[in-house]
């Protein structure tokens, strides 16, 4: 079973920041938070990951609460092409274990 | 860029047929995965492979088998296709690494319909 809880859907106006929440209250000390997204008719795409510090890359920012029980993915200036299902996943950093995907959040960016 | 290629984007087969779904990756990745994706259920892991000739059952292996004879190729086999196996099938690969993030790279999927 997925260890995360996400809202099923969200809307965001084009050009505004999209803030996607994720609850992971049972996260273990050695588990990271990963985010993937899936645009329609494509396979999932890796976005970002983090352990306890906030992270930023060219795609997004990841804010993790101090108790690590929740996090927020931020797309700073959402575009129509960011419309996708966003998956929050927790697992250990490396090794052979596969990802466990939940149902994700369907983000709709509206013009 | 990593390329994960699935042999067909769309496939239509009949009940009882033996169906082969092929996946090839070009980055010498050790780990490969097969998922199916259904509306309302998200991605579910069918089988995965740590390396050549190795395989492990995922969450829903019933009715499926896999083959990993070469490192770059991971095949999913539906032994006797049934209508409840109509789904989107996604293949992924990942380089094995310790102490370092190795994200999974996905193909674009095969939409399989069993009639």
Residue of B nearest to A43 (CA): B108
- Per-residue tokens: B68: 């990993």
pLDDT class of A75 with cuts at 50, 70, 90: very high
Residue B56: CA count within 13 A, CB half-sphere: 13
Q: How far apart are CA A81 and CA A102, in angstroms?
A: 22
Polymer length in residues for chain B: 115
Which residues of chain B register pLDDT less than 70? 1-2, 98-101
Spell out which chain A residues touch chain B, with contact meaning CB-CB distance below 8 angstroms.
2, 32, 34, 36, 41-46, 49, 87, 93-96, 98-104
Most B CBs within 10 Å, among A9, A22, A99, to test the B interface: A99
User: Could you count the other beta carbons within 10 Å of the beta carbon of residue A15?
Assistant: 11
The pLDDT tens digits of the residues spanning A6-31 come to 999 999 999 999 999 999 999 988 88
- Residue showing tokens 């960011």: A82
Q: For B100, which of A2, A45, A94 is closest by C-beta distance?
A: A94
C-alpha torsion angle, residues B69, B54, B5, A6 (rounded to 10): 170
């Amino acid at each position: 079973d997925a260890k995360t809880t996400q809202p099923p859907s969200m809307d965001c106006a084009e050009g505004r920041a999209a803030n996607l929440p994720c609850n992971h209250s049972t996260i273990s000390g050695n588990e990271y938070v990963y985010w993937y997204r899936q645009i329609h008719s494509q396979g999932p795409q890796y976005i970002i990951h983090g352990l306890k510090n906030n992270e930023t890359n060219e795609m997004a920012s990841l804010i993790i609460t101090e108790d690590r029980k929740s996090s927020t993915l931020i797309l700073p200036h959402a575009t129509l092409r960011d419309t996708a299902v966003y998956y929050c996943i927790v697992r250990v950093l490396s090794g052979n274990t596969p990802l466990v995907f939940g149902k994700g959040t369907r983000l709709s960016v509206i013009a | 860029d990593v390329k994960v290629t699935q042999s067909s984007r769309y496939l239509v087969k009949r009940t009882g047929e033996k169906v082969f779904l092929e996946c090839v990756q070009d980055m010498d990745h050790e780990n490969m995965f097969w998922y199916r994706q259904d509306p309302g259920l998200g991605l579910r892991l069918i089988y995965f492979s740590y390396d050549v000739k190795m395989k492990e059952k995922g969450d829903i292996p019933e009715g499926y088998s896999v083959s990993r004879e070469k490192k770059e190729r991971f095949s999913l086999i539906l032994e006797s296709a049934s209508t409840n196996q109509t789904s989107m099938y996604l293949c992924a690969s990942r380089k094995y690494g310790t102490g370092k993030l190795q994200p999974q790279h996905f193909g674009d999927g095969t939409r399989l319909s069993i009639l």
